[in-house]
C-alpha cells in the first residue's frame, strides 16, 4: 500500500511539473493567444479611453492604477513607483508620472524584461477628436500605437503565460513608465538599473507598418547656446553695445563641422532667437542644436568639443555658455540580440507562415530600449508591438487588427525560447 501511495504521489508531482517547456506545444500557445484577441481589444479600449499626456499627472495616475490591477490579475507582484530622482533637461517638468513595476516569478533561471510606456504626446481633451473605433483591419484611438498597444501586449502576454501555466523562466520583470515622450527623465535610471542583470529585454513600441524588429536606434542629444551681451541704440551708439547676435553667429559658424558621416554623428543647429526690436543692439541670443550619435562616446566627444570651441569668442565682452544633454543614448545591436531575432524570424516563418524584417542598424529615432541596453549585455529587441501608423497625429493613429495574434504569439514564444536550459 505504501509503494502504491508513493507511486501515485510521484505521478502527481510529475504531472504538475510537466506544465513546463516540454508540455507547452506551439498549438497550445496559438490556441490561448487566439482566444485573447477580443479581450485584448477590450483592454486596448480601456487604455485609450484614459487620457495620459506626459504632463497630465492625474491621467497618468489613473491609467497606472488600471495597469497595476491588470498586471496583478495576470499573476504578477506589482509596485507603483513615484519618481523623485529626475534628470533635468531643458523641457523637463517639475514632476513626472509613476512607473508601474511588476514581477512574475518562475521556476527557472532566465531573466526577462518587458517594457512599454503609458504617456502620450497629446493634450487633455483631444480624445474626443480621436476616439477608439474599429474600421476594417484598423483600430484607431488616441495614443493607440504609441504606446497603449504595447501596454496591452504586455498584459496579455503575461495572461497567456498564466493560462498556459508556463513557469520555466526565472523572472519576468515589467516596467511601464509615464515619461517616455519627454525623454524619460525620471524613469531612465530605473530602466537602466533593472536591465543590468537581465538576459532578454523586449520593448513593445510599435513595429511600424511592416512589423520590423529593431536592434539599434540613434542616440538623441541636444546642445544649447546662450549668449549675453549689452544693449544699446543701434542707430545712435551701437559701439556702446555688445551684440549678442553677432557672437551667436560666430559661435554657430565655428561649430558647423562637428558632424561626421563616417561615424553617424550629426549635429545641426535648428533653433535660434535674438533681439526683439530692430533698432536695439540685442543683449541676448540663444540657439539649439539637434544631435544624433550611434555610439555613447561620440556624445562625450561632442560635449567636450562644444566646451572647447565656445572659448574662442568674437566679442571679448560677450558671455557665452553652452549646455549639452543626452536625451537618449544609442542602442547598439549585440550578438545575443541578433541570435534571438534569428529565432524570431524562424518562429514567424515556420510557425506563422509570415515574413519578419529585422533592422540591425540605426534608422533614426530613439526609445527606452536604449536605456535598457546602456549597461546591460542582454539581448535587447525593440518594436515588439503591433504594426500600425500615424503616431503623434491628431486624427489618424491606428494599429492593425491582424497583428494582435502574431505579436502575442511571438512574445510568448520568445519567452519560452529564452527560458530553455
pLDDT tens profile 312-323:
999 999 999 999
User: Residue 73: CB partners within 8 Å, gap ≥ 6?
Assistant: 159
pLDDT of residue 327: 95
Query: What is the tens place of the pLDDT at every residue in 324-336?
Result: 999 999 999 999 9
CB 96 within 8 A of CB 183: no
> Predicted confidence band at 247 (pLDDT cuts at 50, 70, 90)?
very high
Mean pLDDT of 357-376: 91
| CA distance linking residue 151 with residue 63, whole number of Å | 11
- Does pLDDT of 345 surpass 60? yes
- How many Å from the N-terminal Cα to the C-terminal Cα in the chain? 37
| Residue 395 pLDDT > 80 | no
Specify the pLDDT at position 22: 52
Confidence of residue 365 (pLDDT cuts 50, 70, 90): confident
Task: Answer yes or no: is pLDDT of 231 > 90.
Answer: yes
pLDDT higher than threshold 90 for residue 196: yes
Max mean pLDDT range (301-315, 359-373, 391-405)? 301-315
**Ranges in the chain annotated CATH 3.30.70.360:** 220-326
The CATH 3.40.630.10 domain(s) of the chain lie at: 24-217+331-418
Helix locations, 139-220, DSSP H: 149-164, 188-195
pLDDT band at 2, cuts 50/70/90?
very low
- Three-class DSSP category at 29: helix
User: Quick one: average pLDDT of 102-117?
Assistant: 98
Is 220-326 assigned to CATH 3.30.70.360? yes
CA distances from 270 to 30, 290, 301, 319, 367 (A): 49, 7, 20, 21, 22
Q: What average pLDDT does the segment 101-129 reach?
A: 97
Alpha helices per DSSP H over 236-392: 244-253, 296-309, 335-346, 369-373
Beta-sheet pairing, 200-203 with 111-117: parallel
Rounded distance between C-alpha atoms, residue 225 and residue 333, angstroms = 33
CB atoms within 10 A of CB 367: 21
If you ran DSSP here, which 8-state letter would residue 240 be given?
Answer: G
Q: Which of 62, 207, 85 is nearest to 145 (CA)?
A: 207
Q: So what's the pLDDT on residue 4? A: 46
Question: Is it the case that residue 225 has pLDDT exceeding 90?
Answer: yes
Contact 308, 300 (CB under 8 A): no
- SS3 (DSSP) at 107: coil
User: pLDDT-derived band of residue 23, with 50, 70 and 90 as boundaries?
Assistant: confident
User: With the CA atoms of 171, 215, 188 and 223 taken in that order, what torsion angle do they form, in degrees rounded to the nearest 10?
Assistant: 170
**Would you state the cell numbers that stand for residue 338, as one nine-digit string?**
541578433
Q: For residue 185, give the nearest of 281, 73, 95, 311 by alpha carbon.
A: 95
Rounded CA-CA distance 107/84 in Å is 34
Taking 80 as the threshold, does the pLDDT of residue 242 lie above it? yes
What is the rounded distance in angstroms from the CA atom of residue 116 to the CA atom of residue 215? 16
pLDDT at 377 over 70: yes
Residue 3 scores a pLDDT above 50:
no
pLDDT at 240 over 60: yes
Fill in the DSSP letter of residue 418. Answer: H
Q: Is the dihedral of CA 292, 293, 298, 299 positive or negative?
A: positive
Strands 77-81, 219-228: parallel, antiparallel or unpaired by DSSP?
unpaired
Active site residues: 119, 180
What DSSP element (H or E) covers 130? none
CATH class of the structural domain 24-217+331-418 = alpha beta
- Rounded mean pLDDT of 333-351? 98
Confidence band of 364 (pLDDT split at 50, 70, 90): low
What's the grid cell of residue 293? Answer: 550619435
Confidence of residue 6 (pLDDT cuts 50, 70, 90): very low
Cell triple for residue 142?
A: 488616441
Taking the C-alpha atoms of residue 144 and residue 248, their distance in angstroms, rounded to an integer, is 42
Give the pLDDT mean for 115-141: 96
Supply the Cα-derived Rg of the chain in whole angstroms: 26
Residue 309 pLDDT exceeds 60 = yes
Q: Which secondary-structure segment (H or E) carries 222?
A: strand 219-228
What percentage of residues in the chain have a pLDDT greater than 90? Answer: 91
Neighbours of 73 (CB within 10 A): 13
Residue 21 clears pLDDT 60, i.e. is over it: no
Distance CA 162, CA 19 (A): 11
Query: How many angstroms separate the CA atoms of 93 and 238, rounded?
Result: 39
- β-strands 388-389, 398-400 pairing: antiparallel
Distance separating alpha carbons of residues 20 and 107, to the nearest angstrom: 9
pLDDT value, residue 322: 97
Q: Name which of 202, 185, 211 is nearest 376 in CA terms.
A: 202
Given a cut of 50, is residue 15 above it in pLDDT? no
Whether the pLDDT of residue 5 is over 80: the answer is no
Q: What is the pTM of this model?
A: 0.90
Amino acid at each position: 500500500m505504501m509503494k502504491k501511495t508513493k507511486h501515485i504521489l510521484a505521478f502527481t508531482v510529475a504531472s504538475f511539473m510537466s506544465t513546463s517547456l516540454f508540455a507547452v506545444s506551439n498549438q497550445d500557445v496559438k490556441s490561448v493567444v487566439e482566444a485573447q484577441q477580443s479581450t485584448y481589444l477590450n483592454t486596448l479600449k480601456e487604455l485609450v479611453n484614459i487620457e495620459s499626456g506626459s504632463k497630465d499627472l492625474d491621467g497618468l495616475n489613473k491609467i497606472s492604477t488600471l495597469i497595476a490591477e491588470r498586471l496583478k490579475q495576470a499573476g504578477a507582484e506589482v509596485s507603483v513607483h513615484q519618481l523623485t530622482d529626475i534628470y533635468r533637461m531643458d523641457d523637463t517638468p517639475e514632476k513626472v508620472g509613476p512607473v508601474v513595476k511588476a514581477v512574475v516569478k518562475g521556476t527557472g533561471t532566465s531573466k526577462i524584461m518587458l517594457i512599454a510606456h503609458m504617456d502620450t504626446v497629446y493634450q487633455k481633451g483631444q480624445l474626443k477628436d480621436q476616439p477608439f473605433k474599429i474600421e476594417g483591419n484598423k483600430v484607431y484611438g488616441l495614443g493607440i500605437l504609441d504606446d497603449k498597444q504595447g501596454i496591452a501586449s504586455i498584459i496579455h502576454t503575461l495572461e497567456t503565460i498564466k493560462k498556459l501555466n508556463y513557469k520555466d523562466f526565472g523572472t519576468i520583470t515589467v516596467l511601464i513608465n509615464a515619461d517616455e515622450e519627454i525623454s524619460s527623465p525620471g524613469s531612465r535610471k530605473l530602466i537602466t538599473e533593472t536591465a543590468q542583470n537581465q538576459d532578454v529585454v523586449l520593448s513593445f513600441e510599435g513595429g511600424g507598418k511592416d512589423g520590423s524588429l529593431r536592434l539599434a536606434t540613434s542616440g538623441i542629444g541636444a546642445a544649447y547656446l546662450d549668449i549675453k551681451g549689452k544693449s544699446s541704440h543701434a542707430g545712435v551708439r551701437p559701439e556702446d553695445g555688445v551684440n549678442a547676435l553677432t557672437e551667436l553667429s560666430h559661435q554657430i559658424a565655428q561649430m558647423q563641422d562637428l558632424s561626421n558621416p563616417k561615424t553617424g554623428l550629426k549635429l545641426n543647429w535648428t533653433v535660434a532667437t535674438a533681439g526683439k526690436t530692430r533698432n536695439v543692439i540685442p543683449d541676448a541670443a540663444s540657439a539649439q542644436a539637434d544631435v544624433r550619435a550611434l555610439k555613447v562616446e561620440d556624445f562625450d566627444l561632442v560635449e567636450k568639443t562644444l566646451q572647447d570651441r565656445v572659448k574662442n569668442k568674437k566679442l571679448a565682452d560677450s558671455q557665452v555658455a553652452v549646455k549639452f544633454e543626452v536625451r537618449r543614448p544609442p542602442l547598439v545591436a549585440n550578438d545575443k540580440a541578433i541570435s534571438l531575432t534569428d529565432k524570431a524570424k524562424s518562429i514567424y516563418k515556420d510557425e506563422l507562415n509570415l515574413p519578419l524584417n529585422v533592422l540591425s542598424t540605426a534608422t533614426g529615432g530613439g526609445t527606452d530600449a536604449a536605456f535598457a541596453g546602456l549597461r546591460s549585455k542582454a539581448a535587447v529587441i525593440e518594436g515588439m508591438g503591433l504594426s500600425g501608423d500615424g503616431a503623434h497625429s491628431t486624427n489618424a493613429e491606428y494599429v492593425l487588427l491582424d497583428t494582435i495574434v502574431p505579436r502575442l504569439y511571438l512574445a510568448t514564444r520568445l519567452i519560452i525560447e529564452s527560458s530553455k536550459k
